[in-house]
A and B are shown apart, each in its own frame.
Chain A
């Protein structure tokens, strides 16, 4: 059973946010990797995140093995942070729209970081890292959404199935 994201949450997830995907393997080891873009379905009940197959191999293997998924989205300019979780995620066919999304995402996040004074080196490094040609699209239906903006309220459930 999935939840329906709000319009604001959908906009946030597809904005200049840092995205990291975690899961746990069958051996009980948690693993994490950076994602390279996000698309929210029109009905706001499903989310697709884009990973580099090489950089996210351990995460992808664990998800293929049936592990649950947790994805954290954080906007550097505001520190606003959301975490979405689901019991499973599945690979989906990579389309042009996904590639375009990844390209725009890298530029948008790099611009955001440079605007914050992180410097051109970091922005260029980010774009270089995110020009992966081995993109994988992972689709999941969020079952619970947490507010994880730093502070004592971090971890508050915003919506749950």
Chain B
């Protein structure tokens, strides 16, 4: 039976370097180590092009090669007959390999030395099993079964808040993931904000990552999963910048200082990016190809569930629940900066963007009319928010706002009073100042 290229994916994770043999036009052979042999699809692999090497010179002149790859855990060897087709210097495959190379470079002590210049695409013409007598590596746990169990846990989520937290909690028993983030795309489409986190001392709720920045941003921009199996010192592939510039309103991402494995998987719904699921570990080679496959499916399912939340009808208007007790104590000083809708409470940064705009609108409404009960539908239609495509983001932004308030300001809270309905809780009087 012909061996399928998919079966060799464990050999293509960079744990044991591959070698590649080529020959010049005059027949002189060359044999060299390949930093990366990347699985592209059922018929193709890609090799990293970092320097103009003899291997590259040879395949440009004589486009045939043989790669020898090794299965970790068994040391079985396989030989792939390859036909060089083309080199890609941009696009999803290039970006994925660039990210992975950063991890491989670090593992081999080549930080800042390995820079991907291209992804050389080869068609795999034949696969030879060199050691048919050796037993295969012990089978990994069944990723499909683990996926099924994780998805079953999502069924119990009553609302977006439970869904966001439950989606990360479900990863722990099924994928041994103990550090993870759920990030959603903002309305402008150029940044992601953290909606939920798992396993960090600080939740990082509200922390942002620019699209294209770090492993999370690359996964978002290219709409591809990106998996790095080794610690990388390459700054651009750390999850995000940790330094906060003086005076900048920024919530730091709560990621590990030195993750040894990272995976970022886009949440895609109908071809559109919704967010990114990110996980990391202190251990090398924590995430396999099978894990990546499972998490891609998981993330798509999660994207669908999150996107369905706004489709659920709001409850009918409940009786007003405003309390007569007036807030007391020293007034909270709320400042709003219209440029980015950032909100500061007693000079401490709270939130910005859509969530900031929502809070500013609610507080102004309360000051003007005394209202404390609101519904999502009216917010979607509120002209003061002036936000395009607002409806799709409202529920996630309300949850973000609710969580930031719970963490940073105990005197203001948003309490859910029904589907699509919530109550503003104020324990101190307000002083509102436009920035």
Chain A residues at the B interface, C-beta cutoff of 8 Å:
20-24, 28-34, 55, 67-72, 74, 79, 81, 83, 85, 118-119, 121-122, 125-126, 128-129, 148, 150-152, 154-155
Chain B residues with Cβ below 8 Å from A70 are 21, 28-31
Main secondary structure of the interface of B (DSSP, over half): loop
Chain A residues with Cβ below 8 Å from B66 are 22, 29-32
Chain B residues with Cβ below 8 Å from A119 are 73
Chain B residues with Cβ below 8 Å from A67 are 27, 29
In the complex formed, the residue of B with least CB distance to A59 is B21
Determine if B32 and A30 form an interchain contact, defined as CB atoms under 8 angstroms apart: no
Determine if A30 and B75 form an interchain contact, defined as CB atoms under 8 angstroms apart: no
Which residues B109-143 have CB closer than 8 A to chain A? 109-110, 113-114, 130-131, 134, 137-138
Residue B301 is within 8 A (CB to CB) of chain A in the complex? no
Determine if B68 and A20 form an interchain contact, defined as CB atoms under 8 angstroms apart: yes
In the complex formed, the residue of B with least CB distance to A26 is B27
Which residues B31-70 have CB closer than 8 A to chain A? 31-33, 35, 51, 53-54, 62, 64-66, 68
Determine if A150 and B33 form an interchain contact, defined as CB atoms under 8 angstroms apart: yes
Determine if B54 and A155 form an interchain contact, defined as CB atoms under 8 angstroms apart: yes
If A30-B65, A67-B29, A72-B19 touch, whether A154 touches B75 (CB-CB below 8 Å) is no
Which residues B76-91 have CB closer than 8 A to chain A? 76-77, 79, 81
Which residues B250-305 have CB closer than 8 A to chain A? none
Determine if A152 and B51 form an interchain contact, defined as CB atoms under 8 angstroms apart: yes
Q: Distance in Å from the Cβ of B267 to the closest Cβ of chain A?
A: 35
Number of interface residues of B (CB under 8 A): 41
Chain A residues with Cβ below 8 Å from B131 are 55, 129
Residue B74 is within 8 A (CB to CB) of chain A in the complex? yes
Determine if B110 and A151 form an interchain contact, defined as CB atoms under 8 angstroms apart: yes
If A22-B30, A32-B19 touch, whether A150 touches B79 (CB-CB below 8 Å) is no
Chain B residues at the A interface, C-beta cutoff of 8 Å:
16-17, 19-23, 27-33, 35, 51, 53-54, 62, 64-66, 68, 72-77, 79, 81, 108-110, 113-114, 130-131, 134, 137-138
Determine if A150 and B108 form an interchain contact, defined as CB atoms under 8 angstroms apart: yes
If A67-B29, A68-B28, A72-B32 touch, whether A32 touches B79 (CB-CB below 8 Å) is yes
Of A31, A32, A85, which is within 8 A of B28 by CB?
Answer: A85
C-alpha spacing A119/B73, complex, angstroms: 8
Determine if A72 and B35 form an interchain contact, defined as CB atoms under 8 angstroms apart: no
Chain B residues with Cβ below 8 Å from A125 are 73-76, 134
If A70-B21, A79-B109 touch, whether A126 touches B31 (CB-CB below 8 Å) is no
Chain A residues with Cβ below 8 Å from B64 are 28-30
Q: Which residue of A34, A71, A126 has the most chain B CB atoms within 10 A of its CB atom? A: A34
Chain B residues with Cβ below 8 Å from A71 are 31
Determine if A24 and B31 form an interchain contact, defined as CB atoms under 8 angstroms apart: no
19 contacts between A and B (CB under 8 A): A20-B21, A24-B29, A30-B22, A30-B23, A32-B66, A32-B79, A55-B131, A70-B31, A72-B33, A74-B17, A83-B30, A85-B28, A125-B75, A129-B75, A150-B108, A151-B113, A152-B113, A154-B51, A154-B53
Determine if B51 and A128 form an interchain contact, defined as CB atoms under 8 angstroms apart: no
Chain B residues with Cβ below 8 Å from A21 are 31
Chain A residues with Cβ below 8 Å from B32 are 72, 83, 148, 154
Determine if B27 and A24 form an interchain contact, defined as CB atoms under 8 angstroms apart: yes
If A22-B29, A70-B31, A72-B32 touch, whether A29 touches B81 (CB-CB below 8 Å) is yes
Chain B residues with Cβ below 8 Å from A29 are 64, 66, 81
